Amino acid sequence: MLKPGLFYTLTADDMLSQGLYLKDEEGERVLLPRRQVPDNIQTGDSLKVFVYLDSDDRLIATTDRPRAQLHQVASLQVKDVNSTGAFLDWGLPKDLFVPFAEQKQRLEAGKTCLVYITEDNTGRLIGSTRLNRFIKDEARSDWPGAPAPFTQGDIVRLIIAQRTDIGYKAVVNDEYWGVLHESQIHKAIRVGQKTEGYIRRVRDDHRLDLSLEPIGHARADALANRIMKKLVESGGQLGLSDHSPADLIELHFGVSKRAFKMAIGKLFKDRQIVIEADGIRIADGPGDERRSAKPRNDRKPAQTGKADKKAEKAPKAAGRKTVYRNPKSQSERTLKLKK
């Protein structure tokens, strides 16, 4: 059965004056208006369409792509507000209706808001800004004993929802709340933005901590590829190293200094780059990939000359005997001095 608010791949069945009828595997049909029928389509061809209700509450198909479908969250602009509610632009000829009862705060024309696509008790598609009715705080399975929805490092879809004291709240896969802590943000983001993210941690209370960067080795691998691409574009050299300021690294790559150091360490270990005092460059000669400008350790050179004499005149250590040695060889006939 065709349900309003979802995408379907249907089969061209019959062309009439009003448009093309499409059908699903069970034989249910829906009309695609003539102005949207693709050129040269033939009976039996497959076509992906979005199904919704028109102004007369009739099921209709469209090749237009809305900004969200049923049970998804989107940032939409308010086109109009009247005595019944607000109407939002979601990319279709028929605007998305948000009743006053589904508005957490009164919507204003021209403003944008986050809205969840749902349906009323008659099956018509509506929007709701009361996201807490639909988005869950705890990411746990609905069935006892079933595996958790996420594990550390999983790639997820995020939509930034709200600024908080510790960072941002984000909607994860249109279903769960997650927190993006300030320490994990190294590039500009905004409320309403859609982006790819990662599960940094599933807490003991089943709530989600998020990251905009891959976790663990995956982060180093992805960033290393970006650094090599940047090196190639810059002629083989880059004025950044592990001694560069964190804000400069963040400006160029949108990552933390720690992540950058891990990535260039991997590239150096793989003999792809040379680390110099003022930056990094692509290794381009025999043995070049093994050389680094960084010292191997922090040991000071041994003291010589006057420093040695000063060391000999240093005060006696408590509880230890001082032995005076004869500077001449024992082969000569000299007296041995003892304390």
**Rounded Cα distance, 112 and 79, in Å:** 9
pLDDT tens, position by position, 56-79: 888 999 999 999 999 999 999 999
The domain ranges of the chain are 6-62, 73-133, 155-211, 218-290
Is 6-62 a CATH 3.40.50.620 domain? Answer: no
Q: How far is CA 74 from CA 65, 67, 116, 169, in A?
A: 13, 7, 7, 15
Residue with tokens 């209370």: 205
Question: pLDDT of 196-216, one tens digit each?
Answer: 999 999 999 999 999 988 876
Cα distance between residue 315 and residue 132, in whole Å: 74
Residue with more model confidence, 307 or 22: 22
CA 210/CA 259 separation, integer angstroms: 16
Answer whether residue 300 shows pLDDT above 50: no
Write down the CATH number for the domain with range 155-211.
2.40.50.140
Whole-model pTM: value is: 0.69
DSSP string, 158-204: EEEEEE-SSEEEEEETTTEEEEEEGGG--S---TT-EEEEEEEEE-T
Query: Is the per-residue pLDDT at 22 higher than 90?
Result: yes
* 121-162 per-position pLDDT tens digit: 988 999 999 999 999 999 988 787 778 899 988 999 999 999
Check for a shared fold between 6-62 and 218-290: no
What whole-number percentage of the chain has pLDDT above 90?
50
The CATH class for the domain spanning 73-133 reads: mainly beta
pLDDT digits (tens, 9 = 90+) for 74-103: 999 999 999 999 999 999 989 999 999 999
* Cα 215 to Cα 8, 185, 224, 304, distances in angstroms: 35, 14, 14, 50
Per-residue pLDDT of 259-269, as tens digits, reads 788 888 888 88
What pLDDT band is residue 297 in, cutting at 50, 70 and 90? very low
What pLDDT is recorded for position 47? 95
DSSP secondary structure letter of residue 34: G
Task: Report whether pLDDT(232) > 80.
Answer: yes
Q: For residue 33, what are the β-bridge partners?
A: 19
Q: Does domain 218-290 have CATH number 1.10.10.10?
A: yes
Query: What share of the chain has pLDDT > 70, as a percent?
Result: 83
Provide the pLDDT for residue 218.
66
Question: Counting beta carbons within 10 angstroms of the beta carbon of residue 189, is it exposed (0 to 12), middle (13 to 18) or buried (19 or more)?
Answer: middle
Q: Report the alpha-carbon distance of residue 310 to residue 129 in Å, rounded.
A: 79
